[in-house]
C-alpha cells in the first residue's frame, strides 16, 4: 500500500516567512486572531494607516487553509445561485451579493500588483466540466442570467471541443469562466507575512488566544505566552475558530461549520502528459455535489486535485486514496502514477453560504468564506479595515445580512459525515 507525505506540496522549495523574534508587547492598537489571508491583509492596511498591530496564530504560518488550499481564484458564484438568492433577498440584493465576487477579483489583482506580491498569479480561466446534458442546460441558463454582473464572462464548450480544454472523456460539455485564475497560495501567504513584518507588525506563531476581556482602554487579551492590552480586536480565524479559541469567541464558532478540504499532488509528470490533460492550463472543476477542483501545478509538472475530505479521522492515507480514485475517474491514464503528497485543512462554511464581516460585542470580524476565500479574504480585509479606520467606501452587500446559527449547534458539525455520504451516493447515481 502506498504511503503519502502528509505535508502540503505547496510548502516545498518555498522559504518560510521571515518573522521577527521578540517578546509579546504589553499593549498595541490592534490584536488580530489568525494569521491567514484575512488577518495578514487586514494588518497591512492598518499598519499603512500608522497603527500598531500584533497577530496571533495558534499554528505555524501556513498550517491553516490559507497555506494549503487549491490556489484557485474566481467570483464564487454562491451555492444558492441567482434564483436561490433572489428567493431569499430579492433580485437587487441577490445581484449585489454576486457582484461582490467580481469586485473581489478586480481588487485582488490590483492589490497583488500594488504590493508587488510574488505568488505565480495567472488568469488562465476555469473550465467546469458537466457530465450530463440536463445539468448543462441548467448551468448555461444560470450563466446567461449572470451576464448582468460587471466583468462576468463565460463560453460554452460543446462535447466535440472538450479535448481543447481537458484530456478527459468524462464530460458531455462544459463552461469556461474567463475571469478565473490560479496562483501559489503559500507564496501568497509568505509574501503577506513578510510585508507585515517589513511594515512593523508582529506575528506570533503557535500562540493560543484565551479569554478576551473588555477593559477601559479596549481589551485585555490572554495568550498561552503572555497577556496584552489592545485597543481593538479582530477575529480572522475562520475554520479553526472553535478548535483554537476560548468561549470568548463562542458567538463566532456557533455560526461557522468547519469542513475538511483535502488535496493530493502527483509525482512529476512528463510535459507532454500535462500538455494533453491541461492544454490551456486552466483551473478545473465539475458538477459534482461533492466539490472537486483540480489543476496543473504552477510549474506545470504535477496534477493537484482536491475535494472534501471524507475520512472521519482526517488521515492522509485514507483521504489520499479516495482522492486518487476520483482523479482516476477523470483521467484514467493516471491510474498507475504515484501520489507524493496528501494533506488537508479546514475551511469554514456558514448556514447561509455567505461570508460575514462586521462587529459583535466590540470584536471586529471577517470570516466564513465557504471554500472560496482567496480573493474574498483579501477584499473583505480591505473593506473591514476601511470600516475600522472610518474611511469611505467600506460598504459591502454582506453588511446587513443576519449571521445565522442553528438551535443546539455548538460549532462541531457532527452531521457532516452523513451529508457527505449522501452527496457521494447522489453523485454515483448520476454517474459522476
Residues 24 and 153 in one domain: no
The pLDDT of residue 432: 58
DSSP summary character for residue 409: -
Kindly report the pTM of this predicted structure: 0.95
Is the domain of 268 the same as that of 365? no
Give a yes or no: residue 107 inside a domain: no
- CATH number for the domain spanning 191: value is 3.50.50.60
DSSP result, 101-121: HHHHHHHHHHHHHHTT--S--
Q: Is the same domain home to 423 and 342?
A: yes
Q: Is residue 36 part of a domain?
A: yes
Q: What is the DSSP letter of 243?
A: T
Q: In the structure grid, which three cell numbers stand for residue 63, read together?
A: 498550517
Indicate whether 251 and 235 sit together in one domain: yes
Q: Is residue 422 part of a domain?
A: yes
266/137 same-domain check: yes
Question: What span, in angstroms and rounded, lies between the C-alpha atoms of 190 and 240?
Answer: 19
The 3-state DSSP class for residue 177 equals strand
**Beta bridge partners of residue 28, listed in sequence order:** 230
Same-domain check for residues 266 and 244? no
Return the percent helix, strand and coil in the chain, to nearest 5. 35, 25, 40
Looking at the fold, whether 324 and 206 belong to one and the same domain comes out as no
Question: Cell numbers of 24, please?
Answer: 509579546
What is the rounded CA–CA span in Å between residue 171 and residue 287? 10
- pLDDT at position 37 over 70: yes
Give a yes or no: residue 390 inside a domain.
yes
- For residues 201 and 271, membership in a common domain is answered with no
Higher pLDDT, 77 or 29: 29
- In angstroms, the first-to-last Cα distance of the chain is 26
Q: Could you tell me if residue 75 is inside a domain?
A: no
pLDDT, tens only, 361-375: 999 999 999 999 999
User: In this structure, is residue 319 part of a structural domain?
Assistant: yes
Total tally of structural domains belonging to the chain: 2
What is the residue range of 290's domain? 124-182+258-350+417-429
Do 131 and 31 share a domain, yes or no? no
3-state secondary structure of 403: coil
CATH code where residue 164 lies:
3.30.9.10
Query: What tens digit of pLDDT does each residue of 74-112 get?
Result: 987 766 778 888 998 999 999 999 999 999 999 999 999
Does residue 209 lie in a domain region? yes
Q: Provide the grid cell at 283.
A: 483551473
Over the stretch 382-429, which tens digit does the pLDDT of each residue have? 999 999 999 999 999 999 999 999 999 999 988 766 666 655 555 665
The set of residues, in sequence order, having a beta carbon less than 8 Å from that of 56 and lying 6+ positions away, is: 31, 32, 33, 34, 35, 204, 207, 208, 209, 223
Note the pLDDT tens digit of each residue in 231-264.
Answer: 999 999 999 999 998 889 999 999 999 999 999 9
Residues 201 and 273 in one domain: no
Residues 239, 281, single domain; the answer is no
pLDDT for the residue numbered 430:
62
Any domain includes 289: yes
DSSP state of 56: E
Rounded Cα distance between 378 and 221, Å, is 25
Q: Are residues 232 and 267 in the same domain?
A: no
Amino acid at each position: 500500500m502506498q504511503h503519502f507525505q502528509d505535508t502540503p506540496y505547496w510548502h516545498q522549495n518555498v522559504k518560510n516567512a521571515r518573522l521577527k523574534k521578540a517578546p509579546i508587547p504589553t499593549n498595541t492598537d490592534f490584536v488580530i486572531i489568525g494569521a491567514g489571508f484575512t488577518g495578514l491583509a487586514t494588518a497591512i492596511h492598518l499598519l499603512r494607516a500608522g497603527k500598531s498591530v500584533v497577530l496571533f496564530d495558534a499554528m505555524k504560518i501556513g498550517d491553516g487553509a490559507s497555506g494549503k488550499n487549491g490556489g484557485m481564484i474566481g467570483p464564487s458564484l454562491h451555492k444558492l445561485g441567482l434564483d436561490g438568492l433572489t428567493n431569499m433577498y430579492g433580485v437587487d440584493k441577490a445581484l449585489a451579493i454576486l457582484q461582490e465576487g467580481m469586485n473581489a477579483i478586480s481588487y485582488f489583482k490590483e492589490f497583488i500588483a500594488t504590493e508587488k506580491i510574488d505568488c505565480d498569479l495567472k488568469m488562465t480561466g476555469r473550465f467546469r466540466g458537466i457530465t450530463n446534458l440536463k445539468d448543462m442546460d441548467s448551468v448555461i441558463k444560470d450563466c446567461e442570467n449572470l451576464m448582468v454582473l460587471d466583468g462576468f464572462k463565460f463560453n460554452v464548450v460543446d462535447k466535440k471541443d472538450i479535448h481543447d480544454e481537458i484530456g478527459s472523456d468524462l464530460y458531455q460539455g462544459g463552461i469556461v469562466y474567463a475571469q478565473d485564475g490560479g496562483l501559489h497560495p503559500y507564496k501568497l501567504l509568505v509574501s503577506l507575512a513578510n510585508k507585515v513584518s517589513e511594515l512593523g507588525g508582529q506575528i506570533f506563531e503557535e500562540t493560543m488566544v484565551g479569554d478576551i476581556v473588555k477593559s477601559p482602554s479596549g481589551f485585555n487579551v490572554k495568550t498561552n505566552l503572555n497577556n496584552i492590552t489592545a485597543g481593538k480586536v479582530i477575529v480572522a480565524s475562520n475554520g479553526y475558530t472553535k478548535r483554537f479559541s476560548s468561549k470568548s469567541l463562542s458567538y463566532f464558532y456557533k455560526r461557522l461549520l468547519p469542513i475538511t478540504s483535502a488535496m493530493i499532488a502527483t509525482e512529476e509528470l512528463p510535459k507532454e502528459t500535462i500538455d494533453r490533460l491541461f492544454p490551456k492550463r486552466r483551473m478545473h472543476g465539475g458538477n459534482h455535489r461533492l466539490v472537486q477542483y483540480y489543476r496543473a501545478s504552477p510549474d506545470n509538472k504535477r496534477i493537484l486535485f482536491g475535494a472534501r475530505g471524507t475520512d472521519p479521522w482526517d488521515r492522509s492515507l485514507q483521504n489520499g486514496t479516495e482522492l486518487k480514485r476520483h482523479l482516476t475517474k477523470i483521467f484514467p491514464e493516471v491510474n498507475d502514477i504515484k501520489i507524493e503528497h496528501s494533506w488537508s485543512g479546514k475551511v469554514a462554511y456558514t448556514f447561509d453560504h455567505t461570508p460575514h464581516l462586521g462587529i459583535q460585542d466590540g470584536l471586529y470580524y471577517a470570516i466564513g468564506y465557504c471554500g472560496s476565500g482567496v480573493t474574498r479574504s483579501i477584499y473583505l480585509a480591505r473593506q473591514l479595515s476601511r470600516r475600522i479606520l472610518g474611511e469611505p467606501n467600506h460598504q459591502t452587500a454582506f453588511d446587513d445580512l443576519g449571521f445565522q446559527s442553528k438551535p443546539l449547534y455548538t460549532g462541531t458539525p457532527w452531521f457532516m459525515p452523513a451529508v457527505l455520504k449522501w452527496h457521494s451516493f447522489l453523485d454515483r447515481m448520476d454517474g459522476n
